[in-house]
Chain A
Amino acid sequence: MALRMPWPLLGRSKLESSRAALPEVIGKADAPLMAVVVGLVAFGVVMVYSASFVYARHIFDAPAHFLLRQAAFATLGVLLLLGLARVDYHLYRPLTYPLLGLAALLLMVVVFGLGHSAGGASRWISVGPVHVQPAEVAKLAIIFWMAYSLSKKQDRIRSFSVGFLPHVLMSGFLMLLCLKQPDFGSAVMIGLLTFVLLFTAGARLGYILGAVLMAAPLAWLLIATSPYRMRRIQAFLQPFQHRLDSGYQIAESLMTFGAGGVTGVGLGDSRQKLLFLPEAHTDFISAIIGEELGLVGVTCVVLAFGFIVWRGLRAAFRSVDDYGTYLAVGITIFVGAQAFTNLAVAMGMLPTKGLVLPFISYGGSSLLVNCAAVGVLLNVSRPRRRLPDDEQETDREPGRAKTGQARDGAGRRPGARANRRRSASPGGEV
Chain B
Amino acid sequence: MRMRMALLGALIFVGAGLVMRRAYELSVERAPALREMAEEQYQRSMRLAPKRGTIRDRNGAPLAVSVDVDSVYANPRRMRREGVDPARAMRLLSSVLDLDAERIQHRLESDKLFVWISRRVTPRVAARVRELEIPGVEMVREGRRYYPNRELLSHVLGFANIDGVGIEGLELEYEQQLSGSSERVPVIRDARGHVIFSERALDGRSTRGADLELTIDRTVQRIAERELSLGARTFEARAGSVIVMDPRSGEILAIANFPSFNANEPGDVPAAVRRDRAVTDRFEPGSTIKPFTVASALAAGSIRPEQHFDCEHGAMAVAEYTIHDDKPFDVLTPAQILAFSSNIGAAKIGGTLGREGLYRGLRRFGFGRRTQVGLPGETGGILRDYRRWYEMDAATIAFGQGMSVNALQLATAMGALANGGQLMRPTLVRRLIDGNGETLREFRPRVRRQVVPRATARLVADMLTGVTGPGGTAEEAALDGYLVAGKTGTAQKADYAHGGYDADAWVASFVGFVPAENPRLVISVVIDEPAIAHYGGKVAGPIFRRIAQATLRHLGVPPRGVASRSRRPRRAPANAATATPEATTAPTLAVAAELPPPAPGEVRVPELRDLPARAALVQLRGSHLTGRFEGTGRVVHQDPAAGDVVPEGTRVDLSLAMPRAALGPADESARLASVELTP
Contacts and interface: CB of A to CB of B under 8 A. Distances in A.
Interface string A15-27: 0000000000000
A96 to B, nearest CB: 21
Given A202-B1, A274-B42, A290-B23, A313 B9 contact: yes
A361 interface: no
A261 interface: yes
A305 interface: yes
A329 B5 contact: yes
B12 interface: yes
Contacts of B8: 196, 199-200, 313, 329, 333
Contacts of A348: 22
B193 to A, nearest CB: 10
Interface in B4-19: 4-5, 8-9, 12-13, 15-16, 18-19
Contacts of A306: 13, 16
Interface in A368-396: none
Interface in A162-219: 196, 199-202
B190 A257 contact: no
Interface stretch (A107-115, A126-134, A226-234, A294-302): A294-302
B39 A259 contact: yes
Given A58-B192, A340-B19, A349-B19, A200 B5 contact: yes
Nearest to A255: B38
A303 to B, nearest CB: 9
Given A274-B42, A276-B42, A316-B5, A302 B28 contact: no
A201 B27 contact: no
A401 interface: no
Interface in A281-300: 290, 294-295, 298-299
Contact of A295 (B4, B16, B18, B28): B28
Interface in A254-294: 254-262, 271-272, 274-276, 290, 294
B35 A313 contact: no
B33 interface: yes
A261 B28 contact: yes
A275 B192 contact: yes
Interface in A325-359: 325, 329, 333, 336-337, 340, 343-344, 347-349
B388 interface: no
A343 B192 contact: no
Contact of A274 (B1, B31, B189): B189
Count chain B CB atoms within 10 A of each CB in A257, A333, A349 and give the residue with the most: A257
A344 B192 CA distance: 28
B319 interface: no
Nearest to A198: B4
Interface residues of B, number: 36
Contacts of B27: 257-258, 260-262, 290, 294-295, 298
A336 B20 CA distance: 14
A136 B16 CA distance: 23
A271 B34 contact: no
B211 to A, nearest CB: 38
A258 B23 contact: no
Q: For this complex, into which size category does the number of interface residues on chain A fall?
A: 35 or more
Contacts of B37: 251, 255, 258
A340 to B, nearest CB: 5
A151 to B, nearest CB: 11
A349 B18 contact: yes
B2 interface: yes
Contacts of B41: 276
Nearest to B16: A306
B188 interface: yes
B201 interface: no
A416 B1 CA distance: 10
B503 interface: no
B24 A295 contact: yes
B4 A343 contact: no
Nearest to B23: A298
Given A202-B1, A258-B27, A299-B23, A272 B38 contact: yes
A258 B25 CA distance: 9
Contacts of A313: 5, 8-9
Interface of A: 54, 58, 196, 199-202, 251, 254-262, 271-272, 274-276, 290, 294-295, 298-299, 302, 305-306, 309-310, 313, 316-317, 325, 329, 333, 336-337, 340, 343-344, 347-349, 416
14 contacts: A54-B196, A200-B5, A200-B8, A257-B34, A258-B37, A261-B31, A261-B35, A262-B28, A276-B191, A295-B23, A306-B16, A313-B8, A313-B9, A336-B12
